[in-house]
Amino acid sequence: MFDGLDVTGVGLFSPQLTWDVVRRLQDTTRMKLVLKGIETREDAELCLRHGVDGIIVSNHGGRAEESGRSTIECLPEVVDAVRGRIPVLVDSGFRRGTDVFKALALGARAICIGRPYLWGLAAFGQPGVERILEILNREFELMMRHAGVTSLVKLDRSFVVDRRRT
């Protein structure tokens, strides 16, 4: 798969990660190809042009560049660019059910959680992971009730206030 590709030092911001690599991955597998690290409308449009099956809006937890926009700030722009043609997931910083509510309201199809389940796993093993997921689900359901939303299909951007514009 990597014949003819220089993958030396390939990392988060490697110039060796090109659309040619994406094409080769697509040619190598029948699995869906989802790209992580998309933060802008322009990159989302490139993903569509190159036949990517899904996008994960991510700033890699801020470790790559922590002075940039948060993923929740990037999400609406990417969702608007994709216009429902492929799924948009989001990760980085989701710790509460209210975070999940906001991301879904802004158009994410799913939310990736990393640290919360790892904390549960490290502290209590599988029961800890299950408990973390129960807590997130309970908080999300409570937020849905507080907002008066009876179904995910009724959840939209009107439920999120952009304080930068007030």
pLDDT recorded at residue 3: 63
Exactly one of 36, 60, 95, 96 is catalytic; which is it?
Answer: 60
* Distance between CA atoms of residues 62 and 92, nearest Å: 8
If one counts every other C-beta atom within 10 angstroms of the C-beta of residue 119, the result is 14
Can you tell me which residue has the tokens 């991955």? Answer: 25
pTM: 0.85
* Distance between CA atoms of residues 60 and 71, nearest Å: 9
Is 60 catalytic? The answer is: yes
Sheet holding 34-38, edge to edge: 34-38, 54-57, 88-90, 110-111
In the structure encoding, which two tokens stand for residue 133, read together?
């997921």
Determine which helix (DSSP H) or strand (DSSP E) holds 149, and give its type and residue range. none
Q: Which CATH architecture has domain 19-112?
A: Alpha-Beta Barrel (3.20)
List per-residue pLDDT tens for the chain, 166 residues long: 556 655 565 554 556 678 998 999 899 999 999 999 999 999 999 999 999 999 999 987 555 555 678 899 999 999 999 999 999 999 988 899 999 999 999 999 999 998 898 999 999 999 999 999 999 999 999 999 999 999 999 999 999 987 766 5
